[in-house]
Amino acid sequence: MRYIKTYETLNESLDPEIGDFVICKENIKNNSVAEFTSNNIGKLVDIDEVDYSAAHYIVGYKDVPEKYNDYFRIGTPLTELNKESKRLYRRMHRDEIIYWSPNKEDCKAYLAAKKYNL
């Protein structure tokens, strides 16, 4: 018999934490950028707690196509992390983050289930 994860092990916290892998669904006019963020796994690298009315979750993405570079911020308060990881960053609201997990494999499973409508 295979091991099946229980519901309690998924999304244990109410909000994503720094270091979690996330999948986002943005509400923006550019559908191709929204499609990219909803079909790729990002990593939560910082939480800007200054203004909660604005998008304050900073999500990093790797392998962003060059045509989308204008929609992603290259700079971030974590400049050393930016130089090492070569990620491009985007600010997200809490309601735009549809799934998160400390394990990247869980996010891959979510995307596979979404792809096949499971």
pLDDT digits (tens, 9 = 90+) for 30-59: 789 999 999 999 999 888 877 666 668 889
Which tokens go with 3? 């091991």
Residues facing 43 on adjacent strands: 21, 60
pLDDT for residue 29 is more than 70: yes
Q: How far is CA 102 from the centre of its chain?
A: 11
Question: What is the pLDDT of the chain when averaged over all its residues?
Answer: 80
Measured CA to CA, the distance from residue 89 to residue 75 in angstroms comes to 7
- Structure pTM? 0.76
Which tokens go with 82? 């930016």
Alpha-carbon distance values, 7 to 11, 33, 76, 99 (Å): 8, 31, 34, 14
Letter string b/e over residues 13-35, b meaning 16 or more CB atoms within 10 A of that residue's CB: eeebeeebbbbbebeeeeeebbe
Lookup result for tokens 């229980």: 6
Q: Which of 43-57, 58-72, 76-90 has the highest mean pLDDT?
A: 58-72
